[in-house]
Amino acid sequence: MEFNQQESEQNSIVSVDNSQIRLAHTTLSTPCFISPSYTSETEITNLDQLDKASLFPLSSQDDIDLLIIGTGDTTKFLYPKQQVAIQQMGIGVESMNSESACRSFNLLLSDVRRVGLLLL
């Protein structure tokens, strides 16, 4: 899938497929984390691995208040304990399929929101 809107100074998504994501200035393999000014490939490969300890090094690089999780072709959801733990960090969380997650990330980024995207 390709996206049209691009912000050269931010990490807007240009295109995404099953194994990689292309931003305005770089290409990442999935799984990866993207925020307005930070990108990183990550070792988190499924939702069961997501907790405060795995998320903190990513979220602390760029101040985010919402985390969108792209879970592949189908939507998978966090366990309630995981949601509470992330919310205790001051971060809201939403899970959706990866294509929807990328579209939502670009939309919120264009609204100058402090959003992070974790693609699994």
**What digits encode the pLDDT tens for the residues 12-53?**
999 988 789 999 889 999 999 999 999 999 999 999 999 999
Query: Domain for residue 4, yes or no?
Result: no
Query: Domain for residue 101, yes or no?
Result: yes
Query: Domain for residue 1, yes or no?
Result: no
Query: Domain for residue 5, yes or no?
Result: no
- Rounded (5°) CA angle 82-112-42: 40
Query: Domain for residue 64, yes or no?
Result: yes
Residue-number span of the structural domain to which 35 is assigned = 13-119
Query: Domain for residue 33, yes or no?
Result: yes
Query: Domain for residue 19, yes or no?
Result: yes
Q: Kindly state the tokens that stand for 36.
A: 């307005």
Is 104 in a helix, a strand, or coil? helix
- How far apart are alpha carbons 51 and 29 in whole angstroms? 21
Strands 20-23 and 13-16 come out as antiparallel
Q: How many helices (H) and strands (E) does the chain have?
A: 3, 8
pTM of the model: 0.90
Q: Looking at the predicted structure, is the pLDDT value of residue 112 above 80?
A: yes
Question: Domain tally for the chain?
Answer: 1
Q: Specify the DSSP element, H or E, that contains 53.
A: helix 52-59
Q: What is the pLDDT of residue 9?
A: 60
- How far apart are alpha carbons 10 and 85 in whole angstroms? 28
Query: Once rounded to an integer, what is the mean pLDDT over residues 89-113?
Result: 95
- Find the length of the chain: 120
CATH number of the domain bearing residue 42? 3.40.1230.10
